[in-house]
């Protein structure tokens, strides 16, 4: 579906730092166990193949090299000990490391792929790259952390697919890198257009670990013998995009406050996630599977801790600085008439309880909580409305569509949440489900909004 134009390696430019090593912190270690993140940015940009080859490819290579000068670890590897259990994993860049970049073309229907309607999940895997195989070195394994694929839809558009290992950084880190690369591309490599918000902060001494949490989590992670290999096997599902408008969000908030006037954490995030959660629960009836009405359902979301620690961590800190919040309740509570209200209350109270609890972050209680979650009965969130990837302009105009391909990775359901392309107050929800359940979800989602 996508034929190769060029395969290459892009390294930071000569004169960049010769080496950079970053020890993993307790925020990073957990992500050694999890799958890779995959995003695709689609741009409507009618360009011919000759022009793409002659102008776009060289420009993207040059600007990517400049971006990597500032984001060296993305060109490097995660170094994971094999035999010496006393060693500790780290991120390491040395001169000669590079990022694998694929340039390809396709005859697939661009306009169909960037729609909101259900589309075959497998189609999107043609536009995200696979990370190179890890390499063995004395006592360690070296695993690449980033790969990029740029695909031409002749005379229609361009997509850029990113695959990164989560251990290298959270959404805030990766989004800053993408936007930095876009700026350098748009402005011909002029680095003066890189504002301070796009220059990473690397000092890991700002992450305090008074309880030795990093070592404890690493000792636990080693038991799982996590594979660093990148595998791509798309499940038989479809993808859909759902818009929750600013007006819908306001109506949700007013509805909740009319029922629970004393609730203090009623936000766009909580009402949107609660609505999606309850619609998903109700859509399960279409699967024909037997559901335990008294079974426990789990909701998980990540919170950025940069501003929650004392002293605060710089917003440009490079790496992971997130912890997970978990809310739980019985299936029957969410499936009933008060399901939406219960979900808003649960999510809001969980966030409010944890958002200022620094000791809960430092002592690792959030990590222990992961072990209590039934992944098959969980809904989790990736992305954030705070990250505006629609503002990533490579000089081809505003992004047409953002797709989080990695929402298909786990056993439960993961949704992506982002700002909407068309309106600052709207939210865009990406979802991947079996076709029958997707149809049921869409009907329930639309029906519910019509009664607001």
Which positions are catalytic? 166, 393
Which residues 6+ apart lie within 8 Å of 298 measured at CB?
326, 327, 328, 373, 374, 377, 378, 379, 412
Which residues 6+ apart lie within 8 Å of 214 measured at CB?
24, 25, 26, 29, 88
Query: Which tokens sit at 189?
Result: 């490599």
Contact (Cβ atoms closer than 8 angstroms) between residue 109 and residue 126 = no
Q: How far apart are CA 450 and CA 452, in angstroms?
A: 6
85 three-state secondary structure: coil
- Residue corresponding to tokens 């705070």: 386
The CA dihedral of 28, 394, 230, 216, to the nearest 10 degrees, is: 0
Which residues 6+ apart lie within 8 Å of 378 measured at CB?
297, 298, 299, 300, 410, 412, 413
Q: How far apart are CA 143 and CA 134, in angstroms?
A: 4
Q: How many CB atoms lie within 10 A of CB 390?
A: 19
Contact (Cβ atoms closer than 8 angstroms) between residue 94 and residue 73 = no
Q: Which residues of 15-28 are buried (b: 16+ CB within 10 A; e: fewer)?
A: ebeeebebebbbbb
- In the chain, the largest separation of any two C-alpha atoms, in whole Å, equals 64
- Beta-strand pair 37-44/413-419: unpaired
Q: In Å, what is the CA distance from 406 to each residue of 37, 112, 128, 167?
A: 5, 20, 10, 15
Query: Which tokens sit at 193?
Result: 């257009």
Query: Which tokens sit at 92?
Result: 């390491």
Contact (Cβ atoms closer than 8 angstroms) between residue 267 and residue 348 = yes
Contact (Cβ atoms closer than 8 angstroms) between residue 76 and residue 92 = yes
């Amino acid at each position: 579906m996508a034929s190769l134009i060029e395969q290459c390696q892009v390294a930071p430019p000569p004169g960049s730092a010769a080496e950079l090593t970053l020890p993993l912190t307790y925020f990073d270690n957990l992500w050694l166990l999890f799958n890779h993140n995959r995003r695709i940015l689609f741009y409507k940009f009618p360009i011919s193949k000759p022009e793409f080859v002659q102008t776009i490819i060289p420009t993207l290579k040059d600007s990517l090299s400049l971006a990597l000068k500032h984001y060296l670890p993305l060109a490097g590897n995660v170094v994971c000990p094999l035999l010496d259990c006393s060693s500790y994993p780290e991120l390491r860049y040395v001169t000669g490391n590079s990022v694998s970049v694929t340039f390809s073309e396709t005859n697939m229907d661009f306009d169909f792929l960037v729609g909101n309607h259900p589309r075959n999940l497998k189609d999107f895997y043609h536009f995200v790259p696979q990370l190179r195989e890890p390499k063995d070195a004395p006592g360690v394994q070296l695993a690449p952390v980033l790969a990029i694929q740029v695909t031409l839809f002749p005379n229609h558009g361009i997509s850029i697919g990113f695959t990164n290992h989560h251990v290298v950084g959270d959404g805030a880190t990766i989004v800053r890198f993408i936007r930095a690369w876009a700026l350098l591309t748009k402005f011909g490599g002029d680095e003066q257009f890189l504002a301070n918000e796009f220059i990473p902060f690397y000092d890991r001494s700002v992450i305090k670990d008074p309880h030795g949490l990093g070592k404890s989590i690493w000792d636990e992670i080693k038991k799982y013998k996590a594979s660093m290999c990148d595998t791509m096997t798309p499940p038989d599902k479809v993808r859909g995009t759902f818009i929750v408008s600013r007006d819908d969000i306001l109506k949700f908030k007013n509805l909740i406050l009319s029922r629970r006037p004393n609730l203090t954490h009623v936000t766009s995030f909580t009402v949107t996630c609660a609505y999606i959660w309850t619609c998903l629960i109700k859509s399960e009836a279409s699967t024909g599977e037997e559901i335990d009405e008294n079974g426990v359902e789990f909701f998980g979301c990540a919170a950025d801790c940069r501003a929650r620690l004392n002293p605060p961590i710089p917003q440009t800190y490079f790496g992971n600085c997130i912890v997970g919040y978990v809310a739980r309740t019985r299936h029957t509570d969410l499936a009933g008439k008060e399901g939406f209200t219960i979900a808003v209350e649960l999510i809001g109270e969980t966030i409010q309880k944890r958002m200022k609890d620094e000791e809960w972050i430092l002592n690792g209680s959030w990590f222990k909580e992961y072990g209590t979650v039934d992944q098959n009965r969980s809904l989790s969130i990736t992305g954030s409305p705070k990250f505006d990837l629609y503002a990533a302009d490579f000089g081809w105009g505003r992004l047409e569509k953002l797709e989080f391909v990695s929402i298909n990775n786990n056993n439960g359901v993961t949704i992506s949440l982002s700002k909407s392309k068309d309106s600052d107050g709207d939210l865009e929800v990406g979802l991947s489900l079996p076709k029958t359940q997707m149809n049921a979800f869409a009907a329930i989602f639309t029906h519910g909004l019509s009664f607001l």
